Structure 1
Amino acid sequence: IATSRRKRRAKTDKLDGETLLRALLAYKRGEPRVCAMVVPPSPDEEDRKRNSRERRALIAERIKIVNRVKGLLFSQGVVGFEPLKRDRRIRLEEVRTGDGRELPSHLKAEIVRALDRIELVLRQIKEVEAARDEVARNECDLSKVVSGMSMLKQLRGVGADFAEVLWSEGLYREFANRRQLASYAGLTPTPWQSGSISREQGVSKAGNPRLRTVMVQLAWFWLLHQPRSALAQWFQERVALDGGRRRKPAIIALARKLLIALWKYVHHGAVIEGAVMKPA
């Protein structure tokens, strides 16, 4: 809501209430860009996001513990130990310090406890992934049609994790047009134009950060797994015009175009031009 730019401005509950009321009246009159109305998800839709978000938190915790173990061993001159391998405990017994000594007892006990936490996190990740696959199967069985997650997984380069995040974080919603979808993901450009000054400030980043992050990652995977698609060819032509120097801005534009194409594919059945499907 627009506010006064005076250095010192009055602020009371009464003034705030009047400002909100004026903004609501202007919105009801149909004035554009007065305010934005939030569409909250239902409790079931919000709960559906928990699975993918928990998996991401567990992976971050796994990376943190693995780095901790490697750091402790590196301080003793030990390199090459992989805590995620199945023989981690056997290899820990064989580890020797850089000068040929056995690991100190307290340090070894700390690493053993860290391995316990890693095994717990790995087990929980498998449980979360099993729950994700079960939800996808149940949706297909109940609706008797291919659900949104299943449609996304049919595309080469889109795995179960990408499909779950894309569907639960954004594509399940109803959008009036592609601009609303791009704004929700925070992938819309932010221009700065005043007089003779005209430049771009990058994307707004005002939308869903999880959806925006996974779309940028998926855009890079799309170039790898769908090189003959129209979107990948557009990216290569766009980068070639700049001599290959502006790949990062171009990948953001590709992420926005790809998100819109996926939305049309899931909700309207519009096949992405040149996209390759996985074998049945």
Structure 2
Amino acid sequence: MNHKSLHRKTPTPRFSKRPLSAIFVSLELSRSTWLITSLSPGSGEKISKHSISAGDVSGLFSLFSKLRERSHARTGQAYPIVAIQEAGLDGFWIHRVLEKEAIESHVVDPASIATSRRSRRAKTDRIDGEALLRTLMAYKRGEPRVCSMARVPLPEEEDRRRITRERKALIIERIAHVNRIKGLLFSQGIANYEPLRKDRRQRLAELQTGDGRMLPAHMKAQLCREIDRLELLLKQIKAVEDERDALIAAAQSAAATPAPVAMLLDLKGVGTEFAAVLWSEGLFRHFDNRRQVAAYAGLTPTPWQSGSIDHEQGISKAGNPRLRTTMIQMAWLWLRHQPSSALAQWFNERVRRNAGRLKRSTIVALARKLLVALWKYVTAGVIIEGAVMKSK
């Protein structure tokens, strides 16, 4: 073996020699440092890397100005800047800052970028920055499906979905406190106490252990503190629900045509929370076709085909998890409240043909069909076949 090969340096990545039409920049963001990787016209295949402190927007624009000046000095032409960053903890505020300064900015889904399938692959911020740069250039060349760019919501759209997401988090906390209270009481032989009842404090004072004793003092004090936190959560949940209802009422009164959320509420079996989640998490967006609707919710099938092998791996789960979970819950409720609809009859016939098997996979297919049907309903007014409307 040639020992020199063991110390050979990693080759510098080469980019297309096609003339560049812009200064391409990738932003690799972290809590402490931003790594900026750029490729400018007139620099050949050489890429440059710069580090600035996280959040230093003025330093970022100063660097962009230097890149423009250097490119102009080499080529005699002024080029625009095209930037890319991964969707992550930083949200979309940097993207909005760049767009406010007339800089073309893209936010990419990091899971959609192709990576090496080696069992051990090198991963550093420098390598990731170069990969982002290659992805951006391929995207601008028009290469199909090279990545999936995020559609950045408007600030008011992003803020609106805070309500349903906060309510979900509060409900999870409420369940945890209720289970903790029940668990503590069960350890004393008490199994019939419901913390969500309004007389919870009065009943707590009357409880006796399984062996006939009153609750121990420290146990009772701990339970009272748990109830204090539970009651605070109940107040917060009520406040969030009031905000949600006010937002829906405002949308209903402001729109000249029926708002999507109001149209959803007209369907039997669709309550306020389901309508709010569907509206804020998915149906406020523009979709070109039904495939995009299903893909956004991660309800599209994932085939596995290679030679004679051909089977399904289930749904992709690559979309919005909140919308996907809501749609699967709604599919079960649709069967209960809309049994005469064409979708419910399709489900029942499919299950009957499978002799009652594969209900779980069939309900996912129903959720996909239902989401597409609801999208057509709120955007084009296409009534779901056989659906019953609420009586007003």
Change (3 A) 1:237 1:110: same
SS, match of residue 146 in structure 2: coil
- Map of 1:66 onto structure 2: 178
Shift of 1:163: 0.4
Residue 266 (str. 1) matches residue 378 (str. 2): yes
Q: Which residue of 1 aligns with 2:301?
A: 189
Residue 313 of structure 2 aligns to a residue whose secondary structure is strand
Per-residue deviation at 1:146? 1.9
Deviation at 1:23, TM superposition (A): 3.4
TM-score by length of 1: 0.95
Structure with bigger helix share is: 1
1:101 to 1:194, Cα distance in 2 relative to 1, 3 A? same
Q: CA deviation at 1:60?
A: 0.8
The residue aligned with 2:190 is 78
Q: Which whole-Å CA distance do the structure 2 matches of 1:21 and 1:125 have between them?
A: 44
Provide the alpha-carbon RMSD of the alignment. Answer: 1.7
Q: State the TM-score, normalizing by the size of structure 2.
A: 0.68
Which residue identity is paired with 2:180?
R
CA distance in 2, matches of 1:213, 1:9: 34
Q: Is residue 254 of structure 1 aligned with residue 378 of structure 2?
A: no
The amino acid that maps onto 1:194 is S
The answer on 1:165 being equivalent to 2:277 is: yes
Residue-by-residue CA offset, 1:106-152 (whole Å, 9 max, x unaligned): 11011111111111111111111111111111112222332111111
Where do 1:6-155 residues align within 5 Å? Answer: 19-155=131-267
In 2, the alpha carbon distance for the partners of 1:147 and 1:195 equals 49
For the structure 1 residues 96 and 42, does the alpha-carbon distance in structure 2 shift closer, same or farther, using more than 3 Å as the test? same
- The structure-2 alpha-carbon separation of the partners of 1:274 and 1:89, relative to structure 1 and needing over 3 Å to count, comes to same
Shift in CA distance, 250/9, structure 1 to aligned 2, threshold 3 Å: closer
Deviations along 1:3-40, one digit per CA (max 9) or x if unpaired, are 44456667677765554444334333433221222111
Say which SS state the counterpart of residue 143 (structure 2) adopts.
coil
Q: Which region of structure 1 is more displaced relative to structure 2, 207-216 or 131-140?
A: 131-140
Count of residue pairs the alignment pairs up: 280
Distance across 2 between alignment mates of 1:171 and 1:244: 32
1:39-74 per-position Cα deviation (integer Å, ceiling 9, x unaligned): 111111110011101111111111111111111111
- 2:322 matches 1:210: yes
Structure 2 CA distance for aligned equivalents of residues 83 and 10 of structure 1:
52
**1:188 to partner: Cα distance:** 0.6
What CA distance in whole angstroms lies between the structure 2 residues aligned with 1:5 and 1:98?
59
Q: Name which one, 1 or 2, has greater alpha-carbon Rg.
A: 2
Residue identity opposite 1:158 in structure 2: V
Structure in which a larger fraction of residues adopt strand: 2
| Residue equivalent to 1:245 | 357
TM-fit CA distance, 1:268: 0.9
1:240 positional shift:
1.1
Q: Deviations over 1:235-265 (max 9, x none)?
A: 1111111111110000000000000000110
Identity of aligned residues (%): 65
For residues 60 and 211 of structure 1, the distance between their equivalents in structure 2, rounded to whole angstroms, comes to 17
